[in-house]
Amino acid sequence: MTQYDVFNGDADGLCALIQMRLAEPMEDAVPVTGVKRDISLLKRVEAVSGDRVLVLDISLDKNRAPLEGMLRRGVSVTYIDHHFAGELPTEGGLDALIDPDPHTCTSLLVNQRLEGQFAHWAVVGAFGDNMNRPATELAAQVGLSEAETATLKELGVCLNYNGYGTSLEDLHFDPAFLYEKLHHYGTPFAFIEGEPEIYRQLLDGYREDMARAGAVAARLAEPDIAVFELPDEVWACRISGVFGNRLANAHPERAHAVLTHNRDGGYTVSVRAPAVRKEKADELCRQFPTGGGRQGAAGINHLPPEALDGFIAAFRETYRTA
């Protein structure tokens, strides 16, 4: 029997898996992950009858064909996620915990399932997905001080930041390497204590890239929407999603799109719904062939330059308030 652990390479995916493997250690499990935007992960798993697959924080709808193949072959699949799933397959062998509520995330769903055993890691994952309210509430519930909560928030943001990039080479750390380093630690505080160099590199990289992004002026700024275009640099790919979260937090009434240049001559787009109305980002992005995501945060992997005006028009229409 082989156990495969398939997880999104962002903070939420990482912290969800850390919790699951602290609860049920399996040193032989095969990790399968990638950059945050690489969500077609299940097709890389060649599981056979009797194998077990754990899937965390990637859309079921985007992995439907390989999932159905596995279930037909007699693979047992545990699927925990908060992205758009569509209809769940009805074949046996699927244990699914899926909740697309815009105020939850995979780390929080895992925390529920494990009855709060590793809640500190869930707090990190939730902050990483910019679920600031539920993360702060959970932190208070488990007795963390304000300073401790701030430390976990910063770690979550930095781990999430590390997941962005067009390819693994753009990242400071391969998410599989981070998982290897992190998952032995029962709490994120123990990780910070035990791996000061990794922690420092994540924080420094995040701060440098954010400072560069903060110096970029909006390409378009209206009361309901703003569009930022970052330069064609590796750092811009890394910071794009976290920069979008920061804009959303700073201007909660406004929707934001962050454009970065991709290697196919087009744009990669990160969309953040207004923080006060986390809706429609996924619907907007799914109008474009490589778009997907959640109600509050979504993206388009490749927007051809000639489609940019159409995107901006659809973006404006989606979030028009007057």
| Interacting residue ranges for Mn ion, rule: CB under 5 A | 12, 57, 105-106, 129
Q: Work out how close the CB of 129 gets to Mn ion at its nearest, in angstroms, rounded to a whole number.
A: 5
Pairing assessment for the beta strands 76-81 and 291-293 based on DSSP bridges: unpaired
Q: Least CB distance from residue 143 to Mn ion, whole Å?
A: 25
Reduced to 3 states, what is the DSSP secondary structure of residue 307? helix
Closer CB to Mn ion, residue 47 or residue 105? 105
Q: Closer to Mn ion by CB, 105 or 237: give it.
A: 105
C-alpha span between 303 and 269 (Å, rounded): 7
Which DSSP helix (H) or strand (E) runs through 279?
none
Q: Among residues 179, 12, 180, which one has the least CA distance to residue 82?
A: 12
Nearer to Mn ion, 126 or 210 (CB): 126
**In Å, how far are 112, 139, 143 from 135, measured between CA atoms?**
13, 6, 12
CB of 156 to Mn ion, least distance (A): 11
Closest separation in Å from C-beta 54 to Mn ion: 15
**Burial (CB count within 10 angstroms: exposed 0-12, middle 13-18, buried 19+), residue 134:** buried
Min. distance of Cβ 295 from Mn ion in angstroms? 12
Task: Quote the DSSP letter at residue 274.
Answer: -
Q: Which CB, 128 or 205, lies closer to Mn ion?
A: 128
Least separation in angstroms between residue 157's CB and Mn ion is: 13
Cβ closest to Mn ion, residue 108 vs residue 259: 108
Select 225 or 248, whichever has its Cβ closest to Mn ion: 248
Which residues are CB-neighbours of 128 under 8 A, at least 6 positions away? 10, 11, 12, 15, 107, 156, 157, 159, 160
The CA-to-CA distance between both ends of the chain, in Å, stands at 58
Q: Which residue is nearest to Mn ion (CB)?
A: 12
Q: How many CB atoms lie within 10 A of CB 317?
A: 10
Residue 5 Cβ, how far from Mn ion at the closest point, in Å? 16
Polymer length of the chain: 322
Q: Using the minimum distance from each CB to Mn ion, give the nearer residue, 164 or 311.
A: 164
